[in-house]
């Protein structure tokens, strides 16, 4: 180790003092017990980039049980769920720390779970990490903080390059999830992947199959929620990883003829995603549901593609097929039920606006649009607007204008009828009293009739609703 701190170390220290003052306090606690402590990995990288957060990773020569004793004195809360792998975590104030004993790892070829051996020095610990930009450390228990960079991570950070500390095949064979992490860092940090690393990912993409769905989901989500999801998604597709973890996306690269006259559905979907992101302020900021829906809304097209005689292509009912595919894929990736249902519904509804021509919306159609979207109405507004990717400025302006008028209609009816709370004019108890029924399918059918009446005619009041219900029941009973 060099005793010279250097400009990089000074920058990292300055960022650490400003953004994570508790790190020095923790280091003193370890030093007092005769142990080393170094900030390591992503937090060092982020400190150098000026984006350090409140989650800090450290490495130490203290064994896990000794680390736990120190954290029990220093932290307000401590948890040791990772102690079998050498990691103990704690939280003090707004700062969360994970402290891991120096270690080396050995992986079984068919498992991502390593067998852990504790190491003797920090260089061995840094050699096992995923990328050189995450293989830097800041030793905090020496007389002066010491910047440690055995694999030239600082140079790669400056050049915005992702490279592995050792041979990329060894790294990805050990932990195939690192291949998706490469795509994630490319998206989050706008980095390029070194050609040898990229070639290794293409060669070993099949290894991703040993990774759990939950871990794949988490990395994919981080890519999707980054500032530049196009970059990471394209890397997943180009390397073959997407064929295994999200096969519906590469299938969107449809070619209808050698002249590529038909719109590239993949490119369209990425553009819709980017345009949806531009409107996310309507949803309060970055939103996972709208990003998933934007990316997946057309995944039903490959299964529904039909060529039209004389040229052209159709995708009838692709929204229905796409909704089913989205539900299946997101469920397999272990997304939570609410997210799956929301994306399924938005995919089903994403063409609804285009079914009404140039603004010929009846009040009934507006009510149904609002009723069917439910709590996802604003999401549907964002998705529908983002789904216009035409380069024809006149057509784009016309579609935007028509949708402006639809939103205005919704606002007017919202004020007049409280559309977000659409209910029949009679409730279930009233229906059972009027028709002398007990809870049954007949009551459900009656409520469906009243809801249709409400959607078609708006609020008509209990008297007219009762009259209509009795006439409906009389006709139904006569059949």
Which of the pair, 14 or 108, is modelled with greater confidence? 14
Please say if the pLDDT value at position 479 is more than 70.
no
Question: Which positions ≥6 away from 1 have C-beta within 8 Å?
Answer: 139, 146, 148
Residue 151 near residue 165, CB atoms below 8 Å: yes
d(CA 342, CA 287): 12
- pLDDT at residue 233 in the model: 98
pLDDT digits (tens, 9 = 90+) for 128-162: 899 999 999 999 999 888 889 999 999 999 999 99
Please say if the pLDDT value at position 436 is more than 70.
yes
pLDDT digits (tens, 9 = 90+) for 214-229: 999 999 999 999 999 9
Architecture of the domain defined by 160-246: Orthogonal Bundle (1.10)
Q: Comparing 160-246 with 251-422, is the CATH topology the same?
A: no
Please say if the pLDDT value at position 3 is more than 60.
no
pLDDT digits (tens, 9 = 90+) for 249-303: 999 987 554 444 455 899 999 999 999 999 999 999 999 999 999 999 999 998 8
Please say if the pLDDT value at position 326 is more than 90.
yes
d(CA 435, CA 217): 51
- pLDDT at residue 157 in the model: 94
Tell whether domain 251-422 is in CATH 1.10.3210.
yes
pLDDT digits (tens, 9 = 90+) for 30-75: 999 999 999 999 999 998 888 888 899 999 999 999 999 999 999 9
Structure token pair of residue 462: 């209990």
d(CA 279, CA 272): 11
Q: Categorize the per-residue pLDDT at 238 as very low, low, confident or very high, splitting at 50, 70 and 90.
A: very high
Please say if the pLDDT value at position 2 is more than 50.
no
pLDDT digits (tens, 9 = 90+) for 449-465: 888 888 778 778 888 88
- pLDDT at residue 456 in the model: 79
d(CA 125, CA 410): 60
Kindly report the CATH class assigned to 6-159. Answer: alpha beta
Please say if the pLDDT value at position 407 is more than 90.
no
Query: Can you tell me which residue has the tokens 């409400």?
Result: 454
Which of the pair, 76 or 353, is modelled with greater confidence? 76
Q: Domain boundaries in the chain?
A: 6-159, 160-246, 251-422, 423-478
């Amino acid at each position: 180790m060099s005793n010279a701190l250097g400009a990089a170390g000074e920058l990292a220290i300055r960022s650490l003092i400003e953004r994570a003052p508790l790190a020095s306090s923790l280091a003193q606690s370890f030093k007092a017990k005769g142990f080393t402590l170094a900030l390591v990995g992503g937090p060092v990288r982020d400190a150098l980039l000026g984006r350090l957060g409140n989650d800090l990773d450290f490495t130490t020569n203290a064994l896990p049980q000794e680390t736990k004793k120190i954290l029990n004195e220093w932290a307000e809360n401590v948890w040791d769920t990772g102690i079998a792998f050498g990691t103990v975590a704690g939280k003090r104030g707004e700062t969360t720390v994970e402290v891991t004993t120096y270690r080396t790892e050995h992986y079984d070829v068919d498992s991502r779970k390593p067998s852990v051996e504790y190491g003797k020095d920090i260089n061995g610990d840094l050699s096992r990490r995923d990328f050189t930009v995450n293989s830097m450390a800041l030793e905090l228990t020496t007389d002066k903080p010491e910047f440690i960079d055995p694999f030239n991570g600082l140079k790669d950070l400056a050049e915005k390059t992702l490279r592995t500390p050792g041979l990329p095949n060894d790294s990805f064979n050990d932990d195939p999830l690192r291949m998706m992490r490469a795509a994630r860092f490319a998206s989050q940090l706008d980095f390029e992947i070194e050609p040898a690393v990229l070639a290794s990912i293409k060669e070993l993409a099949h290894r991703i199959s040993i990774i759990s769905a939950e871990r794949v989901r988490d990395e994919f989500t981080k890519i999707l929620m980054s500032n530049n999801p196009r970059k990471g998604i394209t890397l997943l597709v180009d390397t073959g990883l997407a064929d295994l973890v999200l096969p519906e996306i590469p299938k969107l690269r449809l070619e209808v003829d050698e002249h590529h006259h038909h719109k590239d559905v993949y490119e369209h979907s990425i553009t819709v995603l980017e345009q949806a992101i531009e409107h996310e302020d309507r949803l309060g900021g970055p939103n996972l549901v709208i990003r998933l829906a934007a990316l997946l809304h057309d995944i039903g097209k490959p299964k529904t593609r039909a060529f039209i005689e004389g040229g052209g292509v159709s995708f009838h009912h692709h929204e229905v097929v796409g909704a089913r595919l989205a539900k299946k894929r997101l469920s397999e990736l272990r997304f939570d039920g609410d997210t799956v249902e929301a994306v399924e519904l938005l995919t089903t509804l994403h063409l609804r606006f285009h079914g009404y021509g140039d603004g010929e919306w009846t009040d009934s159609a507006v009510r149904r649009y609002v009723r069917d979207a439910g709590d996802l109405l604003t999401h549907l507004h964002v998705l529908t607007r983002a789904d216009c990717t035409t380069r024809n400025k006149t057509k784009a302006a016309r579609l935007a204008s028509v949708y402006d008028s639809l939103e205005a209609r919704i606002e007017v009816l919202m004020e007049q009828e409280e559309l977000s709370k659409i209910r029949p004019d009679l409730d279930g108890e009233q229906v059972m009293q009027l028709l002398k029924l007990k809870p049954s399918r007949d009551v459900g059918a009656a409520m469906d009739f009243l809801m249709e009446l409400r959607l078609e005619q708006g609020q008509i009041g209990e008297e007219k609703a009762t009259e209509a219900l009795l006439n409906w029941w009389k006709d139904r009973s006569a059949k």
